[in-house]
Structure 1
């Protein structure tokens, strides 16, 4: 029937309702009201049309052009080049797209449209489904929409993430939830705990995990406790509260009404408190329970509904901080306990504690910590227990040692922990060579290491003495620091080096010592002879030169120590041969004989003479050693010696000249 009315309406409204002379009352008020009752005049445009039809006014028959159209992925119905006022035009999206914006548009009488064009946006793919789950909302869905999965069995709990979002990934829409949640019935709670008296309890049945049950009290009753409890993993989180009659604000209890009067139904419902009070139904409580050092205030008397607060005379309160007087001289809670505070917390060096401070209340656990660069060792915490600390001393903060330096390639530590602390020691060995320095290094309290050792390489191929000697060890390999001494056979003199030192794989001397022959000491045959270079020890290759203090050298001017330990010469004597040697000039050697050594032929000056004497044989060209002169008297005779000889000391033998007498 509705579609038929719409057809008639569109037929009437689609015709030229205005004949150019003004609006005619094409349909009556009754018909117009009928359309309105069906809801057709609630849309903009149609309502105007009804108004126009039912209320003649001046109007325009001009149709609407340029319908705002969907740019892509959609179309409109009907599809025409012009539209008359009244009938709506519907917008439709292609499959896989969702309309975003108005779903219709209506031509108004003034040749305008009620809406702009909508758009068609991609729709999200179908949601993954499970027979145990359902989604309260219905699609289609667009990018950014979030859906929630719920259990078909409403007493079951959803396990896992119940939310999934439509997201775009590389221009393709998909749902973010990769794994669907499941439904669990194992977390059910039985009926919640119930209020014993005067309560309005929740329904007594099984509840799913996550459910919340609420409590209320009967009118003119006070609720003490939690007004709700939750079902979590099969258990209720809160006990049932209590509902009690508060008598504190009533008038003093007097038996001023008859009990039967009080129990009359009319008065029980309208003046219950007064009746209970007057009939002695409100009770008082004795003093509230209090433990050691527990103070309850205010003081009594304590009427039903009275509340006291607890404090500690010393220490910290543990338990309920208040109490309530209930009917029949019953207090709601037990007395709390006062525990003593703990002073003088053991403190830690190079660290601190949280909470801060040195005095803390019972039950407080203090956590120790260390400054940067330190490591904490137990105890790491301390707990206050009624005035006493659980630990008599704090933990220890030990300095973390600096990183090990670059070690010698052959230096090996016996242990290799990830880090080292103050007081730790390391022992070292060498994989090759000899350890130099202490084998143990220690980390100091400041985190610094003592001096590290190093590895010194062994030495190989010791340079050895070739002949006429040897060395203090026969092995050619030695460890770092080894000193090898060279020596020579008897009769030979060592030439540097006298020793060789192994220094980290290298010998300090690349050549060994040499042993050379020692020559005999040069005899000093003549007191006038001077030997130049005549050392205490004369060795092969050494040369000694000779000169005379006075006189002429007889023999070679130099002698050289030969390899066999004898003296050899090369030179000449005095030109006519060695005086007294019988050897000619040239070179030669004295093999184990003193003949090779030169001597000095002394030269005396002219003999002394005075005017009374004459020399009878003074015609010699030179006055050399052995030359003799004869003295004679010029006048008279002498009895003194008259002969004087040139001695080897270049002195004349006649010390005094002879005396002549007439």
Structure 2
């Protein structure tokens, strides 16, 4: 037997177990020592401990939650910490230990209810602000109406109380929607029509026929102060919106209300003419029914002009003829335009557009007969037919002379003016020379053919007036020319014998003697000197006289 001396000690520990097995727990003191109560006999300070398996159940606390000591197995001396859920109070110890008997020590605590839940939601309200989220018995929570709502008449205070059983007192509706007065519109109606109008309701005011809203679009809303915004309008006498006009505009803009006294002015687009008054005004009218003082005007263009028979115009596909536009006409070949060739659209009196002239007509052009003359021909371009204005010029054949006008023109009556001429054979009348006669006149006749010659000689004591003939011959032959006149019909004048005249005649003869230019020049200079001397002598003689 093993012996232990006084004061020695023994320490115990349990055996280990395999992995996954529940370990042994040491029950009792892990260390004991040898002592004595009488100083004679030895005793151990306590009984030896024992090793055994000790397990406690999973601890549970209603409305509580375990804060520490989580474990899949709770063995001897294991401890856990508990805390109650929100709005619950702990009764008992919040710490538990697993004892050697496999029980928790002390007993599990209790979590008791100590507050009401969150205050109830009551429609159209909001709660007074509070920093606390605990509501012990006796707590009073007050409510307020949200915007657009008010306390129901008869309710002085909106609140609930947490009762002793931690339930809230009876809940009820505290607030109702703010109400606006029923809209009563004279000469008008509110839409939609309802028995009760409350906050945020919208209405549209429609005026009766002959009335309109002034400075208001007729849309209103019930506000949180129990009033309509904007304030209810007044339906005033008004005219119906005036007609819009085609091809024009007016100055109404976005306006759709036309009270008595208002006016609308009209304008036409470019090229269109305003027919009627340019401005109309809304008046009270007979019996108080508003009306416009005049009908809306019209914007008009000229009516399409008539088309012409046997002709055409330049309108093409155009069927609208604005002021300032024009249409030109032309006739088919063989037809003549009677009237103006172009008409123009103008505003006219009172603004009514009209054409500045009547539409012309195409009348058949008169044709003149082909002008033919014997012993002659046309010298202008020949035409297949001759119409008004065509001109023709003629020329006779050689030996013939034109009697009448050389140029004729076709007239509107289908006749030529002047009349068509004729070509007559050329001849000259019997020549008559005063103080002279024909040398040979056996066949003297009254009419001579073209190119026929006649010889003349001056009577004694007379000579040809032309110095040339005086110096060259004492007879002269003349010819009937192609134009029916005699060539160089001579004149016979009384012969004058004077030295100067004779000298001139001799000089003319001298010029025909075949002199050279140098000899001729010397002769002329000598002649000139002689004449100047004679002139000087005559001047000297007149001076002496």
Shorter chain as denominator, the TM-score bin is 0.3 to 0.5
Greater RCO (Cα-Cα under 8 Å, separation 6 or more): 2
- Rg larger in structure: 2
> What is the TM-score of this pair, normalised by structure 1?
0.28
Higher strand share: 2
> What is the TM-score of this pair, normalised by structure 2?
0.33
